[in-house]
Amino acid sequence: DAKTTQPTSMDCAEGRAANLPCNHSTISGNEYVYWYRQIHSQGPQYIIHGLKNNETNEMASLIITEDRKSSTLILPHATLRDTAVYYCIVSPTTDKLIFGTGTRLQVFP
Amino acid sequence: DTEVTQTPKHLVMGMTNKKSLKCEQHMGHRAMYWYKQKAKKPPELMFVYSYEKLSINESVPSRFSPECPNSSLLNLHLHALQPEDSALYLCASSLRTGRDTQYFGPGTRLTVL
């Protein structure tokens, strides 16, 4: 079973920041937080991952709370191409990624 | 080249047919994965290969038979499938198993009649 809870859907205006929350209250000390997204009819795409420090790359930022029980994925300037299902996954390894139901992000003009 | 390719894109087969799905990567990755994704559901892991050896089988029925003939190629042989096996089959690869990023292919959409 997935160990994360995400909102079913969110909307975001183009050009604005999209903040996608994820609860993982039972996360273990050796588990990382991974974010993937799946654009319609495509394979999932890796976005970012982190253990306890905040992380940033060219796609997004990941903010993990100090107690590690929740995190937020931030897309700083959402575009229409960011419309997708976003999956938050916690796992000690990438061998067995267990995808939850994810958040369907709709970016509108 | 960070591409995982899958063929065919679409496949329609009868319950008595035998068919194969193919996945290829040329990134030097030594871990490869098969996932199944039903409509409007998240992907579910089926198999993991590490250095051409099967390391994880998530209790997949024997009508699905994976094969990893070399480090670049992963096949999924299908035989006597049921209509409920209709789904998007996704292949992924990573440098190694562990914490390396998985790169996914576009998938093969399978319909079983």
Predicted confidence at residue B98, as pLDDT, reads 86
The residue among B71, B72, B67, B74 whose CA lies nearest residue B23 is B74
Predicted confidence at residue B1, as pLDDT, reads 59
User: Chain B partners of A87 at a C-beta cutoff of 8 Å?
Assistant: 42
CA distances from A10 to A19, A21, B18, B52 (A): 9, 10, 42, 41
Chain A to chain B Cβ contacts (< 8 Å): 55
Paired residues of B10 in beta bridges: B109
Coil/strand/helix, residue B48: strand
Coil/strand/helix, residue A63: strand
Predicted confidence at residue B26, as pLDDT, reads 93
φ, ψ for residue A36, nearest 5 deg: -125, 160
Q: Is the pLDDT of residue B38 over 70?
A: yes
Predicted confidence at residue B56, as pLDDT, reads 94
Q: Percentage of chain B surpassing pLDDT 90?
A: 90
Q: Is the pLDDT of residue B43 over 80?
A: yes
Per the CB < 8 Å rule, is B106 touching A42? Answer: yes
CA distances from B89 to A60, A62, B43, B64, B92 (A): 27, 29, 9, 11, 10
Per the CB < 8 Å rule, is B4 touching A43? Answer: yes
Would you list which residues of chain B are within 8 Å, Cβ to Cβ, of chain A?
4, 31, 41-45, 48, 55-56, 90, 92, 94, 97-107
| Whole-number Å distance between alpha carbons of B19 and B91 | 16
Residue tagged 């490869």 (tokens)? B32
Q: Residue A72: exposed, middle, or buried by beta-carbon count in 10 A (0-12, 13-18, 19+)?
A: middle
CA distance B91 to chain A (A): 8
| Whole-number Å distance between alpha carbons of A37 and B28 | 24
The model's pLDDT over A38-57, given as tens digits with 9 standing for 90+, comes to: 998 899 999 999 999 899 99
User: Chain B partners of A57 at a C-beta cutoff of 8 Å?
Assistant: none
| Whole-number Å distance between alpha carbons of A38 and A45 | 6
User: Chain B partners of A6 at a C-beta cutoff of 8 Å?
Assistant: none
Predicted confidence at residue B2, as pLDDT, reads 65
The residue of chain B nearest to residue A99, with distances taken between CA atoms, is B42
Whether residue B87 contacts residue B80, with contact meaning beta carbons closer than 8 Å, is answered with no
The model's pLDDT over A8-23, given as tens digits with 9 standing for 90+, comes to: 999 999 999 999 999 9
Per the CB < 8 Å rule, is B107 touching A101? Answer: no
Q: Is the pLDDT of residue B92 over 90?
A: yes
Per the CB < 8 Å rule, is A46 touching B103? Answer: yes
User: Chain A partners of B99 at a C-beta cutoff of 8 Å?
Assistant: 32, 93-94
Confidence of residue A76 (pLDDT cuts 50, 70, 90): very high
Predicted confidence at residue B83, as pLDDT, reads 95
User: Chain A partners of B48 at a C-beta cutoff of 8 Å?
Assistant: 95-96
